[in-house]
Amino acid sequence: MSKASHVYVTYIRATPEKVWSAITDPDLSGRYWGHRNVSEWTVGASWEHRRLDAGKIDLVGTVLESQPPRRLVVSWAFPGDVDKPAKVSRVAFDIDVHKDDMVRLTVSHTDLESGGEMERGITQGWPFVLSSLKSFLETGKGLL
Amino acid sequence: MNPHQNRLDPSSFKPKSVYRTYIAATPDEVWQALIDPAFTKQYFFGLASEVEPRAGGRFRLLWPDGREHITGQVVEWSPPRRLCVSWDIQNMPPFSELPSCLVTWDVEADGAATRLTMTESHNWEIPREIMLGGEEGWPKIISGLKSLLETGKPLAFDMSAGPPPEFVAAVEKAAKEKPWMRK
């Protein structure tokens, strides 16, 4: 099975701590992502991506690395696929200070089933989510 | 250079990389930011754009002292939806040895926001390492454009690190071997 990966780089006028919180705080992620990201964010803990309305869980995974506020790596799957290793992908968030008040956020989504539903979804999804995150941190208002 | 001596066939170019962002602005505002030098100077590393508003017209990006950095032709002019230009680096060996590429901007309303998609297309088997130059630069340009339109303030990048060394090495090699001449 061939695997695909996609990398997205965004520069945001914010501190690494603000970017980390926006990704890991369920109330904040709800405001620009429309989903609460819920976890203890310690290595080995599970995480869930829950819709705001009825709380339906759209994605689940495990925290693989957690170095606040610089690097977070999680596994990433649809809830029904969590026991199928071929369908579990991996997302790394790298938050690097570029200069003064600006960070470079790199999202690397790897181990994707090539041409599968998850790959199709995330190539639509990440550009919007990262744009909305940047707007939220720079203007106080996401794009939802 | 007479652009007619240099007419290129857009259908021979293949998309090699795509960058997309969503901006809280109207398509007309995004279009203006793409073509108006007062905007480009603020988010495109200080470069002023000069676009003749018609297919076949002249396109240039100029340094603050007026020297040319990029020259090309307008391949498609469809305000405010699509701008496609050919793209030749000038006066900067070995980078200016590279053949033309195409840069296409697609601007589409999407809900309350505008979706901006930039596609870089090439008509030769460009090595992966040469694509690194764009991968380093385009996210800065596009992030800066979005910040400028949404906050009124551009992003100030630290350019002291220079281009990635593996990118420079790959361009030097290509400038010497000219692989695009092999057909």
- We report the CATH number of the domain holding residue A123 as 3.30.530.20
Quick one: pLDDT at residue B159?
A: 86
Helices A16-24, A117-139: inter-axial angle, 10-degree rounding: 130
Percentage of residues in chain B with pLDDT exceeding 70?
Answer: 96
* A66 pLDDT above the threshold of 60: yes
**A68-A69-A74-A77 Cα dihedral, nearest 10 degrees:** 130
What is the pLDDT of chain B when averaged over all its residues? 94
Q: What is the residue range of B40's domain?
A: 11-153+164-175
* CB-based contact, B36 to chain A, within 8 Å: no
A144 in any annotated domain: no
Given A13, A128, A135, which is nearest B155 (Cβ)? A13
What integer is the mean pLDDT of B114-124? 97
Residue among A8, A2, A3 nearest A124 (CA): A8
Quick one: pLDDT at residue A26?
A: 98
Taking CB atoms and an 8 Å cut-off, how many pairs form between chains A and B? 56
Edge-first strand listing for the sheet containing A35-39: A3-13, A102-113, A89-99, A71-76, A57-67, A46-51, A35-39
The CA distance from B176 to the nearest CA of chain A, in Å, is 31
Domain count, chain A: 1
What integer is the mean pLDDT of B23-32? 98
Given A104, A128, A134, which is nearest B146 (Cβ)? A134
Quick one: pLDDT at residue B136?
A: 94
Query: Residues 6 or more apart from A54 whose CB is under 8 A from it?
Result: none
Question: Which of B17, B18, B19, B20 to probe by mutation at the A interface, max A CB count within 10 Å?
Answer: B20
Question: Mind listing the pLDDT tens digit for each residue in A84-132?
Answer: 999 999 999 999 999 889 999 999 999 999 999 999 999 999 999 999 9
Which helix (H) or strand (E) segment holds residue B151: the answer is helix B128-151
Quick one: pLDDT at residue B5?
A: 42
Confidence band of B7 (pLDDT split at 50, 70, 90): low
Cα separation, A41 vs B156, whole angstroms = 32
B4 in any annotated domain: no
Taking the CA atoms of A111, A71, B116 and B102 in sequence, report the sign of the dihedral they define: negative
DSSP secondary structure letters along A52-78: SSS--EEEEEEEEEEETTTEEEEEEB-
Quick one: pLDDT at residue B1?
A: 44
Question: Mind listing the pLDDT tens digit for each residue in B56-90?
Answer: 999 999 999 999 999 999 999 999 999 999 999 99
Contact B119, B15 (CB under 8 A): yes
Confidence band of B117 (pLDDT split at 50, 70, 90): very high
Quick one: pLDDT at residue A11?
A: 98
Confidence band of B6 (pLDDT split at 50, 70, 90): low
Confidence band of B3 (pLDDT split at 50, 70, 90): very low
The CA distance from B119 to the nearest CA of chain A, in Å, is 14
Question: Mind listing the pLDDT tens digit for each residue in B156-181?
Answer: 998 888 899 999 999 999 999 999 98
- The more confidently predicted of residues A75 and B4 is A75
B107 in any annotated domain: yes
Token match 């904040």: residue?
Answer: A28
Q: Which residue of B has its CA nearest to A133?
A: B22
Question: A57 is written with which tokens?
Answer: 């869980």
* CB-based contact, B45 to chain A, within 8 Å: no
Q: Which residue of B has its CA nearest to A102?
A: B155
Confidence band of B2 (pLDDT split at 50, 70, 90): very low
Other beta carbons within 10 angstroms of residue B167's beta carbon come to: 20
B100 in any annotated domain: yes
**Chain A residues within 8 A of B151 when measuring between CB atoms:** 13, 138-139
Contact A137, A22 (CB under 8 A): yes
Question: Mind listing the pLDDT tens digit for each residue in A42-55?
Answer: 999 999 999 998 88
* CB-based contact, A55 to chain B, within 8 Å: no
Given A102, A128, A130, which is nearest B155 (Cβ)? A102
Question: Mind listing the pLDDT tens digit for each residue in A14-64?
Answer: 999 999 999 999 999 999 999 999 999 999 999 999 999 888 999 999 999
DSSP secondary structure letters along A12-48: EES-HHHHHHHHH-HHHHHHHHSEEEEE--STT-EEE
The CA distance from B34 to the nearest CA of chain A, in Å, is 18
pTM of the model: 0.95
A106 in any annotated domain: yes
Using CB atoms and an 8 Å cut-off, which of residues 83-142 of chain A contact chain B? Answer: 98-100, 102, 104, 127-128, 130-132, 134-135, 138-139, 141
CATH of the domain at B15: 3.30.530.20
Contact A141 B24 (CB under 8 A): yes
What integer is the mean pLDDT of B102-108? 98
Quick one: pLDDT at residue A54?
A: 82
* A1 pLDDT above the threshold of 90: no
Cα separation, B110 vs B20, whole angstroms = 13
Cα separation, A20 vs A9, whole angstroms = 15
Domain count, chain B: 1
Confidence band of B137 (pLDDT split at 50, 70, 90): very high
Contact B24 A135 (CB under 8 A): yes
Q: What is the residue range of A34's domain?
A: 3-139
